[in-house]
Amino acid sequence: MSYQKALAFTAVGIGAFLQGCKDDDNNENTDCATVKTYLDLKDGTAEVEQCSGCIADQDVIKDYEITGDDVKDIDYWAKALADAAASDDAAVQALPAKALNACGAVRNAESCKTLGGISNENDPDELIEAIGALSLAGTLPNCPLCVSIDLKDQPACADIKTALKECGYPQANLDDIDCDEDYRCNDVDDYEAIKTGAADDAECKTCLDEAIDGATYADTATGNSKDIAHADFLTLVGYWNECGVQPAASSCTTTLAATDVTLKATLAKVKADTTPDAEAKFNCGVCVAAQNTDTCANLVTAINNCDADNADLGAALACDACSDFDVSGCSACTAEANDGAYTFPAHDAHSGDDAAFVKAFEPFAYCGAAFGDDASAAGQFEFCNDISLTTGNSAAQLGGDLASVDAQCNACVLTHIALHQNGERTCQTYSNALDVCSGANGGTAATHPAC
């Protein structure tokens, strides 16, 4: 029986290997301890024959009737794998893992290195299914076999995470498996139906009721996104977040404008849209608001996760309105981001309070004013090219001179000081910012008296 044939199992079959358990905590057998690839029982180059022999001598496996002129111990292993993949019998499914455990196999840190990401899940049974399906998709038969080694008969989420880690699953992906999170609403794709009781999802309803603590979700969610005040709606969405809600595609159809750059503006546009019915508006609102919308770029992603027919609804938002540091040109965006009128801070604003100075630039940054990955790198912009400041080198003097020389240069320098130099206005921070905001495209870098 070929190994390729043993590989031809379903996602359920490959996940079945994870059903095995180590039932001998005092096992001292080390016959399979050097095995690195469990499918062929090799140490990296050659078959570990003592491992094959140990597995072929295990109960049930040793009784296999295998015909042929040259039957080897490894053939018993291949049959155990194939039978586990094809069988619905839990005992048969468990044989490969039991054999590996009995013969002293250890987890290899290469086995699950390229396994796809698992998120929004922490139920042990569903984690096992996910590992099986992803292993099948990535042709990684050694991964579930590795995870099955030393795995408890009824593993908890934490046990599976430990196994994945020891089998080489990347830490970034491990961090996405939160064993303490509640995911009882992660499969819901019609939030309004849960609210009205039209959908029969007892687990999700129970979770929402528990999140509210003192009232049922149905009684609390008396309206829809069209008639719930913004703050109250966000409170409602918070209950969904506590229960692991995920974006439901095709929830939103509303056409957005360039200035709908905040969650509040987006939800207001959805409420005002006369085309969708109340159910669709509620679904769209929950879908978008339940995601991370702390930046305009994240809001666009959230909207597009919810839009219908991949319509790229979020593309309309002008998230980069201030990328050219034109204060007046992006005033519509900054006013929306500031939940009202926005005045660009002067160089001496919030004197003595650097933290307040930094916060004052948040709307400008939200609307696209940004620097490179290395924010301190010189020559990123040309706004301050050829500028020469000669009057003095105090922060007050430099700030006052810049304000009267060039508006974009002034905006670039002050924004850099706020966002990347903790709002500290000194001769040196002005000098650093001038270097960043000048010298691009062959221009002459800005100059000023030495600090």
Q: What is the pLDDT of residues 345-370, one digit of tens each?
A: 999 999 989 999 999 999 999 999 99
Whether 208 and 263 have beta carbons less than 8 Å apart is answered as no
Number of C-beta neighbours around residue 250 at 10 A: 16
pLDDT at 225 over 90: no
pLDDT digits (tens, 9 = 90+) for 42-65: 999 999 999 999 999 999 999 999
The pLDDT score that the predictor gives to residue 69 is 82
* Residue listed under structure tokens 């079945």: 16
Whether 386 and 443 have beta carbons less than 8 Å apart is answered as yes
Model confidence pTM above 0.95: no
Please state the domain extents for the chain: 3-174, 191-316, 320-451
Whether 185 and 245 have beta carbons less than 8 Å apart is answered as yes
The pLDDT score that the predictor gives to residue 199 is 67
Whether 446 and 409 have beta carbons less than 8 Å apart is answered as yes
* Residue listed under structure tokens 């800005």: 446
- What is the percent of the chain with per-residue pLDDT over 70, rounded to a whole number? 90
The pLDDT score that the predictor gives to residue 380 is 96
pLDDT at 210 over 80: yes
pLDDT at 219 over 70: no
**The tokens of 240 are what?**
């969904």
- Pairwise CA distance, residues 449 & 447, whole Å: 7
- The model's confidence at residue 19, banded by pLDDT at 50, 70 and 90, is low
- What is the percent of the chain with per-residue pLDDT over 90, rounded to a whole number? 60
Which range is most confident: 58-72, 220-234, 344-358? 344-358
**The tokens of 244 are what?**
């692991």
Specify the higher pLDDT residue, 151 or 249.
Answer: 151
What 3 state SS string does the chain have?
Answer: CCHHHHHCCCHHHHHHHHHCCCCCCCCCCCCCCCCCECCCCECCCCECHHHHHHHHCCCCHHHCCCCCCCCCHHHHHHHHHHHHHHCCCHHHHHHHHHHHHHCCCCCCCCCCCCCCCCCCCCCHHHHHHHHHHHHHHCCCCHHHHHHHCCCCCCCCHHHHHHHHHHCCCCHHHHCCCCCCCCCCCCCCCCHHHHHHCCCCCHHHHHHHHHHHCCCCHHHHCCCCCCCCCHHHHHHHHHHHHHCCCCCCCCCECCCCCCCCCCHHHHHHHHHHCCCCCHHHHHHHHHHHHCCCCCCHHHHHHHHHHHEHHHCCHHHHCCCCCCCCCCCCCCHHHHHHHCCCCCCCCCCCCCCCCHHHHHHHCHHHHHCCCCCCCCCCCCCCCCCCCCCECCCCCCHHHHHHHHHHHCHHHHHHHHHHHHHHCCCCCCHHHHHHHHHHCCCHHHCCCCECCCC
pLDDT digits (tens, 9 = 90+) for 112-121: 999 999 988 8
- Pairwise CA distance, residues 450 & 444, whole Å: 17
- Pairwise CA distance, residues 247 & 284, whole Å: 9
**The tokens of 407 are what?**
């508006």
Distance set, CA 106 to CA 65, 101, 145, 434 (Å): 28, 8, 10, 58
**The tokens of 223 are what?**
């309206």
The pLDDT score that the predictor gives to residue 146 is 94
- Name, in order, each residue with C-beta under 8 angstroms of 67's C-beta and a sequence gap of 6 or more: none
pLDDT at 209 over 90: no
Q: What's the mean pLDDT in 84-91?
A: 84
The pLDDT score that the predictor gives to residue 80 is 92
pLDDT digits (tens, 9 = 90+) for 282-341: 899 999 999 999 889 999 999 999 987 767 899 999 999 999 999 999 999 999 999 889
pLDDT at 11 over 50: no
pLDDT digits (tens, 9 = 90+) for 149-180: 998 888 999 999 999 999 999 999 999 999 99
Q: What's the mean pLDDT in 230-244?
A: 89
- The model's confidence at residue 74, banded by pLDDT at 50, 70 and 90, is very high
The pLDDT score that the predictor gives to residue 327 is 95
